[in-house]
Amino acid sequence: MGDVQAPAARQAVERRSRLLPAEPLAPLVVVDEVRRRSAVHIWFDLADRRHGASSPPRTIEPPTAPGRQGRTSPRRGRRSGPSPLDRAGRARQGGGVERVADLPHGRRLVVRPVSLDDLDALLELYQHLSTDDLHLRFFSAFRPSRSWLEDWITAQTERGHGLVAELHEPHGPSRIVGDAGYVLLDDGSGELAITIEPSCRGWLGPYLLDALAVDAAERGVPTLQAEILTENRRMLSMVRFREYATLGHGDWTTVRVAIATTRETPVWLGAHTRPRLLVEATGGRWRATEPAQDAGYDVVVCPGPRPGRRGACPMLEGRPCPLADDADAIVVALPLDGPGGDLARGHEAAQRGIPVLVTVAPEPGTGDPPPLPEGIDPDRITTERNPQKLIAILDHLTAGASVSDRSGPAPEPDVVVPPAVPGPAEAAGPEG
């Protein structure tokens, strides 16, 4: 697909083609039956809401033992599969559970691991996608060929995991209406891709992503990553519904997201060779992400607590946050009179010895910091908005951090510390 792809798409494919880590992945997460069932129920709630279905009797096959490869027909009833393999073995073999659900009007949905037997049906799915859909999925008008799909299926089964959603009509042939899978990256996360047939959008995507996340968690993959066009509203909405963080914005036409495969926050990925910077910023967008990465930091941007999302921010619920606990510095760039204040206080109170920098919008006219809510250390507040100067402040704060292997060029230290010194009032607004 090389010549027909935009550079961003080519990079994404290159990332997907990386090999498995040398050692099997350790199981990090055990997902119990209750959680698996809840994923299915969420989906039924969605399907009913979207289609106003009159809820005929439905049966759900709870996940059972790992399935065999190569089936294309639906399986009814609980199966007694082969003995469960160890998790790493299952991941390598691409095995997994099968979910079967009766839909309204006699239709049946089967979600099962992908195999090379699905090649023709997948070709059919992709042949009927519009140019707009191809653009959202591949960042170009690239239409997958048979050999490309063969490679994609092989990559999932050998170096990751993939699911297809197969729709069975009561009196007609079945067809594949959804394709979701990941290929493992060197850092232990999975590079995610997902496509839903237009007629099944509005309900199937979240379910298929949930199913893939559950399978990934069972295989010890804590995080899925995806490069998403910022214009891809549906995909972004779907991601925001889960626990996620952003890893960068590229040229701002795309965003790279990390999605937790459990209900917890994403975790730091890869070896801790660069200083880790956790940023709490509205919508997961922080102006200094790329400059900080260039300066040698690993940066993860959390969107902070979101309305109606219980459990989205462990910090505010007194639970450990794996991102905060393993960071070398934290920047809170959320409004202090909202969740930013609680987070800044929470991070300070946690007393992990990790420096916390709070960025605030300067007061119009004076450029001074705004009145600070109680409990926030004024020495940690900065009104600095220039990314390079912010990074210089962070360099100062993290000077004692144990990790010092910064591969990027060092920024010019043209800023004065301590960080409480107000910077030029370049722009207003709460974002840091």
Ligand X SMILES: CC(C)(COP(=O)(O)OP(=O)(O)OC[C@H]1O[C@@H](n2cnc3c(N)ncnc32)[C@H](O)[C@@H]1OP(=O)(O)O)[C@@H](O)C(=O)NCCC(=O)NCCS
Nearer to ligand X, 67 or 181 (CB): 181
The two three-digit tokens of residue 13, written as one number: 């494919």
CA geometry: angle at 297 spanning 293 and 301, to 5°? 75
Q: Select the residue interacting with ligand X from 115, 156, 195, 225 (CB under 6 A).
A: 195
Closest CB 56 distance from ligand X, rounded Å? 21
Instruction: Decide: 354 and 328 in contact? Cβ < 8 Å.
Output: yes
End-to-end CA distance of the chain: 39
Q: How many residues form the binding site for ligand X (CB under 6 A)?
A: 22
Closest CB 40 distance from ligand X, rounded Å? 11
- Would you count residue 42 as binding ligand X (CB under 6 A)? yes
Closest CB 47 distance from ligand X, rounded Å? 10
User: Residue 255: enclosing H or E segment and its boundaries?
Assistant: strand 254-260
Closest CB 256 distance from ligand X, rounded Å? 11
Nearer to ligand X, 193 or 393 (CB): 193
Q: Select the residue interacting with ligand X from 203, 244, 268, 286 (CB under 6 A).
A: 203
- Would you count residue 1 as binding ligand X (CB under 6 A)? no
CA dist., res. 14 & res. 258, Å (int): 18
Q: Select the residue interacting with ligand X from 91, 204, 278, 397 (CB under 6 A).
A: 204
Span of 129-137, 181-189, 287-295, 345-353 interacting with ligand X by CB under 6 A: 129-137
- Would you count residue 46 as binding ligand X (CB under 6 A)? yes
Closest CB 22 distance from ligand X, rounded Å? 29
Nearer to ligand X, 231 or 405 (CB): 231
Angle between helices 119-127 and 146-159 (to 10 degrees): 120
- Would you count residue 225 as binding ligand X (CB under 6 A)? no
Angle between helices 204-218 and 233-240 (to 10 degrees): 50
Residue whose token pair is 């006219």: 365
- Would you count residue 241 as binding ligand X (CB under 6 A)? yes
Residue number, nearest CB to ligand X: 205
Q: Select the residue interacting with ligand X from 114, 235, 292, 358 (CB under 6 A).
A: 235
CA dist., res. 4 & res. 10, Å (int): 9
The beta-strand segments (E) located in 261-355 are 276-280, 298-302, 329-332
Closest CB 178 distance from ligand X, rounded Å? 8
Instruction: Decide: 342 and 350 in contact? Cβ < 8 Å.
Output: no
Instruction: Decide: 384 and 390 in contact? Cβ < 8 Å.
Output: yes
CA geometry: angle at 44 spanning 184 and 215, to 5°? 20
The two three-digit tokens of residue 258, written as one number: 């990390």
- Would you count residue 136 as binding ligand X (CB under 6 A)? yes
**Per this entry, what is the length of the chain?**
432
- The sign of the CA dihedral 240, 13, 5, 209 is negative
Q: Select the residue interacting with ligand X from 59, 131, 145, 237 (CB under 6 A).
A: 237
- Would you count residue 194 as binding ligand X (CB under 6 A)? yes
Q: Select the residue interacting with ligand X from 16, 137, 274, 380 (CB under 6 A).
A: 137
Closest CB 203 distance from ligand X, rounded Å? 5
Strand partners, 331: 279, 357
Residues that bind ligand X (CB under 6 A): 42, 46, 133, 136-137, 194-196, 201-206, 226, 228, 232, 234-235, 237-238, 241
